[in-house]
Amino acid sequence: MDEILTASQVADLLQIHPRTVYKLVKQGSIPGRKFGGGWRFSKHEVLSMITRQNVRQTLQSRVAEER
């Protein structure tokens, strides 16, 4: 079962300020859901998002190096 995280836990996981988590979720950069009085995040989705961004950046760097 997937672990559900609070904004503070996501901030700790990503080593960013909690306010940055809220900015990123409002931009759509981090998948989250409003539940009750706060935001909740799927740990699996957050980690997948990070992995996709890292792969994309790596591929872009390699393409730039080949030019």
Per-residue confidence (pLDDT) for residue 52, from 0 to 100: 79
Among 63, 22, 52, which Cα is nearest to 39's? 22
CATH placement of domain 4-66: 1.10.1660
pTM for the full predicted model:
0.77
Q: Is 5 left (phi over 0), alpha (psi -120 to 50) or beta?
A: beta
Predicted confidence pLDDT, tens digits, the chain (67 residues): 789 999 999 999 999 999 999 998 998 888 899 988 899 999 999 998 888 777 777 777 777 777 6
Among 1, 19, 21, which Cα is nearest to 10's? 21
- Among residues 49, 29, 27, 30, which one has the least CA distance to residue 7? 30
